[in-house]
Amino acid sequence: MTPVREAIVLPLLLLTVALLGGLQPGARIAFVPPSLFCLVLSSLLLTALVRSGALDPARLMHGARTPLANLNGAVVLAALLAAGAQVFAMLTPATGLPLFFVSVLFLVLLLNTLVANPDRVRLLRSVAVILGAGLVLKFVLLAGLSQPAGRTARVLVALFDAATFGSVAQDPQPAAAGYLAFLTAVLYLVAAALLPGSERRETGTALRMQLPEV
């Protein structure tokens, strides 16, 4: 990994994700910090990145590095944790049963990813699927049900409320919210792909790909 990527590109990308993920566009723009549960989800994702070889903490913080380099590595790791938490907070519905079910969905998917122990490429694909599923659930399905106009939407919301003894309707989202969430998720995936990976894991994967099948 080049010094420019470590010192400038990665911190800039991750801090941008952390900032955009906390923004709530509307008549009055607000910044909302992530919940404790979102920090837990981000910690699980960080663990999955390390286990898959997509992230090697020793290439960011190590005794052989200079204090300034270790400080920069600590900033990258902290920004990665904060960015992941803000992404999950951005994709999680605000209230009601959707908040519970989407939170459980994220937790189950991340635990399943940890158990599967995929390599770097498969992990990045899994993260893209997880973030994409959250994006569709909140900003397509739930946003469509929460629109004030539309008789069909009101009937569906009433049926869900009666069947689940809870509310699925969310506050209407501004038109820019979905686009902002999409941009934030893409930037996070780009940053995850640029992280310094484990050289041992990458070498082992390359060797397995080169071995002929018996």
- Amino acid type, 36: L
**Is 137 in contact with 161 (CB distance < 8 Å)?**
no
**Which residues contact residue 117 at a Cβ distance below 8 angstroms, ignoring those fewer than 6 apart?**
51, 52
Q: Which tokens belong to 91? A: 């994709």
**Residue closest to 42 by CA, chosen among 99, 127, 139:** 127
pLDDT at 1: 74
Structure tokens at 53: 């070889």
Collect the ranges in the chain with pLDDT lower than 70: 27, 145-170, 200-214
pTM for the model stands at 0.83
pLDDT value for 21: 92
Query: From residue 4, how far is each of 72, 109, 194, 202 by CA, in Å?
Result: 11, 33, 12, 22
User: Which residue, 45, 28, 26, is CA-closest to 83?
Assistant: 45
